[in-house]
C-alpha cells in the first residue's frame, strides 16, 4: 500500500509505542494531533495511525486509556499476523537515547 505523503510502500511489521509529552489544556486539548497527522519539517507525516490523548507530563494515563492502547495494539498485531514480540516502546528501538514511553513497564505487552 502506498501513501501520498511518504514514498514507497507501507509495510508495517509491528507497533511502536511513543509519547510526545505535550501539555494539553482547555484551549489546546490535542497538542500532538497536528504533528501526528502532518509530520515535521524533517519528517513527513503521518507519524502514527492512532493517537490516545492525555497529558503525559502532569497527568497519568487513565486505566481506560491504557486499556484502549493495549487493545488497539493487540488488534493491529492480530491484523498484521504478528505476536506480542512485535510491539515495542520507542525507547526499545531508539538509536538516539529516547526514553519513552516512560509510563509503562516494557513487559506491558504481555497482557495482550
64 in a domain, yes or no? yes
29 lies in a domain? Answer: yes
Using CA atoms, how far apart are residues 28 and 63, in angstroms rounded to an integer? Answer: 23
What's residue 56's pLDDT? 52
Instruction: Report yes or no on 105 lying in a domain.
Output: yes
Write the pLDDT tens digit of every residue in 10-38.
788 888 887 776 777 778 878 888 888 89
Residue/partner pairs of 2-5 with CB below 8 Å, 24 or more apart: 3/46, 5/39, 5/44, 5/45, 5/46
Structural domains in the chain (count): 1
How large is the average pLDDT for residues 76-82? Answer: 94
Domain annotation covers residue 84: yes
pLDDT band at 75 (very low <50, low <70, confident <90, very high): very high
Note down the domain range covering 106: 15-111
Residue 26 lies in a domain: yes
| Domain membership flag for residue 46 | yes
Amino acid at each position: 500500500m502506498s501513501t501520498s505523503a511518504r514514498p514507497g510502500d507501507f509495510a508495517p511489521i509491528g507497533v511502536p509505542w511513543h509519547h510526545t509529552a505535550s501539555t494539553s489544556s482547555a484551549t489546546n486539548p490535542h497538542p500532538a494531533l497536528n504533528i501526528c497527522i502532518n509530520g515535521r519539517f524533517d519528517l513527513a507525516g503521518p507519524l502514527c495511525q492512532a493517537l490516545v490523548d492525555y497529558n503525559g507530563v502532569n497527568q497519568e494515563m487513565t486505566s481506560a486509556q491504557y486499556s484502549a492502547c493495549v487493545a488497539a495494539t493487540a488488534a493491529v498485531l492480530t491484523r498484521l499476523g504478528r505476536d506480542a514480540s512485535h510491539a515495542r516502546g520507542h525507547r526499545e528501538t531508539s538509536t538516539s537515547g529516547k526514553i519513552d514511553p516512560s509510563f509503562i513497564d516494557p513487559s506491558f505487552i504481555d497482557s495482550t
